[in-house]
Amino acid sequence: MATARSVCNLALRKLGVLGGGRDARPADINDTLDALRSMYTAWVSSGAFGRLRDVVPTGTTYMTAGNERILRESAETLTVTLPELVSHAWHDDYGNEPVRYYGTNVIVSTVDNQTNITVEPSQPVGYAVPPRDGSAVVITDIEGGQTVTWVYDGHIKRWQCVELLQLDDEAPRSVADQQGLAACLAIEVSDQFGSDVAAQTVAAASRYKIALTSRFGMRREESYGVYM
């Protein structure tokens, strides 16, 4: 796993504006970090991490399974829990909703750095697995208009907040391909630094984006056709 600082420095080296073994100036690396945050949110918005479902939960607590856009009044009125494990359900032969049987399903979750284990009845038949790599959750508060974006990195099994990403934090999805991530960032900021992008950098960025959107290295999610 690489820090956001190392990814930003590597991106600037690919543009030829930073020498090997050197750190970028504070102004340059902060601008590059802003571009990195923006790149993650743009990928989520474009659907690179998958489609998001709009959800308006009721009650005071809500556990998301990932790939949801959640609207709430404020953090004081609704607590959103990001799961450590989710139920991977079996479908029937016709592609309908998961077949449900009476039973229990254990879900491990983290709230305010506290690990909680809850047992919920009548869960879909299946088994508990970590969230899918690249799962995204966007939470928007009506009060204050704040929006935060969380991305799940399946390589390190951790949810990471994009807007709160700092230079010394681990960069989301850098384990998968640090060179490719830095290449994408280099292209993103090339206009700011007035630099040309090398062909090798373009190829590395393309490789990274193909892996990001296709996700052939992850479990297959079944989809079913709808016939009218």
The tens digit of pLDDT for each residue in 84-114 reads 877 655 444 444 444 333 344 455 555 566 6
Question: What is d(CA 149, CA 144) in angstroms, rounded to the nearest whole number?
Answer: 16
Going from N- to C-terminal start, the domains of the chain cover 4-50+149-214, 59-132
Single out the residue of 160, 177, 170, 172 nearest to residue 211, CA to CA. Answer: 177
Q: How many residues does the chain have?
A: 228
Lowest mean pLDDT among 53-57, 61-65, 85-89, 150-154: 85-89
Angle in degrees, CA 41, 4, 190, rounded to 5 = 70
Single out the residue of 67, 159, 73, 151 nearest to residue 110, CA to CA. Answer: 159
As separate numbers, helices (DSSP H) first and strands (DSSP E) second, the chain gives: 4, 11
The residues pairing with 72 across neighbouring beta strands, listed in sequence order, are 141
pLDDT of 216 higher than 90: no
Question: What is d(CA 96, CA 193) in angstroms, rounded to the nearest whole number?
Answer: 52
Q: In this structure, which topology does domain 4-50+149-214 adopt according to CATH? A: Hypothetical protein yqbg (1.10.3230)
Straight-line distance from the first to the last Cα atom of the chain, in angstroms, rounded to the nearest whole number: 47
Q: Taking the complete model, does pTM exceed 0.85, yes or no?
A: no
Edge-to-edge strand list for the sheet holding 114-121: 61-63, 79-83, 104-111, 114-121
Which whole number is the average pLDDT over 186-215? 94
Share of the chain above pLDDT 70, in %: 76
Which whole number is the average pLDDT over 156-162? 91
What was the pLDDT predicted at 124?
Answer: 46
Structure letter (DSSP) for residue 37:
H
The residues pairing with 71 across neighbouring beta strands, listed in sequence order, are 140
